[in-house]
Structure 1
Amino acid sequence: MEGGCLARKLPAGDLFHAAVCGDPKWLCLSLERVQSPGQQQNKQGLTVLHVAAQHGQLSCLKLLLESGTVDVNASCPHGRKPLHMVLSPESKPNTYSCLIYLLEHGAEPNVSTDEGLTPLHMAAAAGLKECVEELVRIGADTHTRDSRGHTPFELACLWGHRVAARILKNAMWHRDKKRDMEKHQELQNLKQNMIRMYRKEEGMQKLAREAINKQKVSEWAERKGLPCLRSSTMGLWTLSHHCCHSAKPVKKQHATKSRDMWNISPNPSRHPPANISRSETMRIGVHPEEVADEPDLYQSVTLHCFRNEQVHCIASWDNVSQLVPDLPMDVIQKGLFPSKFPSRISGPLQLQCNSVLDLPHRGGAHRTEDSPWTEVAMHLVEELQPGHY
């Protein structure tokens, strides 16, 4: 809808004509003569604020919003707000300034039309770089889809606006990364909570076993006619020193790591150890991985995936289903059961370490015997069947 066509349709002195022309004095006179200007609509169902935003009349927008008689989030019959209208081609060259002014006065950046178009959709489709940057900065949803299933990034790509597409792709990447970090933190919190419950349950079971052992030992001592029992500081029940021989405490010998397991001698004549540990996989680094002091939850926690693709976990100590953060199944398994699903690169089972000296060497330039067959041709002769090539 162009300004000249609208001016011919509307009578002189009308609010809509003043909004299109951008005459503040004319608009002030019209506001004084009209009651409830924010509720009046033209034939298209647009309010005077919609028309002023559509044609980029910043002075009219200021007068209308400062008068307090219009709604900055008013909707037309198609669900369009003034923020949608300001992103039309007719609003140039004041598109960005009008957008900033509407946002500063309470315009909602994530509102959508009946077709599911948000202001970010319209700015991306029009290739308005500054408007896209401002909407992304204030938190507009970059992942929302319209009625046809398109995101703002996809609309920018369809209309060939590369700069806007790069801005949106960067914003989507940062949002996805932030979301993944939050989901991983939720998974770690869930794991720590399960570890606390597991240790609590394990402690209760240990106390129950000690109580049973105490009762059995007491019954046995009573049958044998032995003196009363006493409890040691470690929680174990032992007989009195009158009927037990004292024994010297045995010092625990700490197991030392074998040097051969991690021998990285630079001597090329000595073969490196072939079977270090976990021969079915390859190590990412050369240093041994530190084992976390955590219990194994694999036997106590089970994962269930329902039809809605939501994963739930059920612990054996309470049998209560808990919702797991929305992450891929392999990430959930590695997060909850690191000992059963290690983060390693899979390799062939027959992979063995060999000495560098045992590898075949390619002949140098000093060789005088040149074979008419290359190595590739020799392999082809060995593999291909006669008569088929």
Structure 2
Amino acid sequence: MEARGDGEVADGPNIQTSDADESACESRDERSHENMDVDEEGSFTHSTTLTNKQRGNEVTVRPATLDSLSIHQLAAQGEVSQVAAHLSKDSSLLCKQDERGFTPLMWAAAFGEKAVVDFLLEKGADPKTIARERESALTLASSGGYVDIVESLLRHGVDINTYDWNGGTPLLYAVRGNHIKCVEALLAKGADMTIESDSGYSPMALAVALGHKKMQKVLEDHILKLYKPTPTPT
């Protein structure tokens, strides 16, 4: 998680990933220039934008139909009934990871598809799964600002301070996106405010760098609450 010269922070969790239906032989290097942004120092930063092609929406001569999409794509699009149909045929798909390590639950969390998230969790999907670059369902939901999914995942015992490939935690990504409700939910459950990203940003430093005034106030209030003396019984 790097800060750019103009105060902008590099993109969040790497959800720019091809789905299970795309060619597995396509190398990461071949995709680098179309899947990454370049900051002013010339270093690559992952993009969080999932393409229409990857979601199964690419306009072609023969448009994709729901039954031609993978369970990962269907989860990302909120197709609960279709996801259920896939699982009824093959229950092993519940926790199937694609070539980047993303599960259907992670795709649903990344796109705010709460109904799919709830369905998959009810079926026994593991919310603690970590992808190849250490992305988690909680990190993806926090980055997107989906507080209802964040709260649901926290109730299922996920690691609230899990970190990804660049040291970003769910709290750091929620701060970066200025998702106040997510930050409040994470802090209420004990998210660690002292953890810094690999580039040295704490949640407060990140809020200041991005000019998120309301976010700074939320973080400051939480700090004051933590250090407020406990009244002595009389």
TM-score in terms of structure 2 length: 0.68
The answer (yes or no) to whether the contact 1:74–1:81 under 8 Å persists in 2 is yes
Q: Match of 1:21?
A: 77
Q: Match of 1:64?
A: 120
Q: What is the identity, as a one-letter code, of the residue corresponding to 2:137?
A: P
Q: Tell me if 1:75 matches 2:130.
A: yes
The answer (yes or no) to whether the contact 1:3–1:21 under 8 Å persists in 2 is no
Q: Once the 2 structures are TM-superposed, how far is the Cα of residue 163 of structure 1 from its aligned partner?
A: 0.8
| Cα displacement string for residues 250-273 of structure 1 (whole angstroms, at most 9, x for unaligned residues) | xxxxxxxxxxxxxxxxxxxxxxxx
Q: Match of 1:159?
A: 210
Q: Once the 2 structures are TM-superposed, how far is the Cα of residue 29 of structure 1 from its aligned partner?
A: 0.1
The answer (yes or no) to whether the contact 1:50–1:81 under 8 Å persists in 2 is yes
Helix, strand or coil: the match of 1:36? helix
Q: Tell me if 1:110 matches 2:161.
A: yes
Instruction: Select the structure of larger CA radius of gyration.
Output: 1
Q: 2 CA distance for matches of 1:7 and 1:141?
A: 34
Q: 2 CA distance for matches of 1:160 and 1:5?
A: 34
Q: Tell me if 1:42 matches 2:42.
A: no
| Cα displacement string for residues 165-212 of structure 1 (whole angstroms, at most 9, x for unaligned residues) | 11112222443x36xx79xxxxxxxxxxxxxxxxxxxxxxxxxxxxxx
Q: Once the 2 structures are TM-superposed, how far is the Cα of residue 155 of structure 1 from its aligned partner?
A: 1.0
The answer (yes or no) to whether the contact 2:86–2:93 under 8 Å persists in 1 is no
Q: 2 CA distance for matches of 1:87 and 1:132?
A: 8
Helix, strand or coil: the match of 1:87? helix
Q: Tell me if 1:121 matches 2:176.
A: no
| Cα displacement string for residues 270-305 of structure 1 (whole angstroms, at most 9, x for unaligned residues) | xxxxxxxxxxxxxxxxxxxxxxxxxxxxxxxxxxxx
Q: How many residues align?
A: 174
Q: What is the identity, as a one-letter code, of the residue corresponding to 1:72?
A: P
Q: Once the 2 structures are TM-superposed, how far is the Cα of residue 86 of structure 1 from its aligned partner?
A: 0.8
Q: Match of 2:5?
A: none
Q: Once the 2 structures are TM-superposed, how far is the Cα of residue 72 of structure 1 from its aligned partner?
A: 0.6
Among 156, 160, 170, which residue is 2:221 paired with? 170
| Cα displacement string for residues 302-351 of structure 1 (whole angstroms, at most 9, x for unaligned residues) | xxxxxxxxxxxxxxxxxxxxxxxxxxxxxxxxxxxxxxxxxxxxxxxxxx
Helix, strand or coil: the match of 1:171? helix
Q: 2 CA distance for matches of 1:31 and 1:38?
A: 7
The answer (yes or no) to whether the contact 1:78–1:114 under 8 Å persists in 2 is yes
Q: Tell me if 1:144 matches 2:177.
A: no
| Cα displacement string for residues 202-228 of structure 1 (whole angstroms, at most 9, x for unaligned residues) | xxxxxxxxxxxxxxxxxxxxxxxxxxx
Q: 1 CA distance for matches of 2:213 and 2:128?
A: 30
Q: What is the identity, as a one-letter code, of the residue corresponding to 2:212?
A: H
The answer (yes or no) to whether the contact 2:87–2:94 under 8 Å persists in 1 is no
Q: 2 CA distance for matches of 1:16 and 1:143?
A: 34
**Higher RCO structure, 1 or 2 (CA under 8 Å, sep 6+):** 2
Q: 2 CA distance for matches of 1:45 and 1:17?
A: 14
Helix, strand or coil: the match of 1:155? helix
Helix, strand or coil: the match of 1:86? helix
Task: For 1:286-365, list aligned pairs within 5 A.
Answer: none
Q: Once the 2 structures are TM-superposed, how far is the Cα of residue 145 of structure 1 from its aligned partner?
A: 1.3
CA RMSD in angstroms comes to: 2.2
Q: Once the 2 structures are TM-superposed, how far is the Cα of residue 33 of structure 1 from its aligned partner?
A: 1.8
Q: Once the 2 structures are TM-superposed, how far is the Cα of residue 3 of structure 1 from its aligned partner?
A: 6.1
The answer (yes or no) to whether the contact 2:73–2:107 under 8 Å persists in 1 is no
Helix, strand or coil: the match of 1:88? helix
Q: Once the 2 structures are TM-superposed, how far is the Cα of residue 84 of structure 1 from its aligned partner?
A: 0.4
Task: For 1:147-226, list aligned pairs within 5 A.
Answer: 147-175=198-226, 177=227
Q: Once the 2 structures are TM-superposed, how far is the Cα of residue 13 of structure 1 from its aligned partner?
A: 4.1
Q: Match of 1:201?
A: none
Gaps of 5+ in 1: 183-389
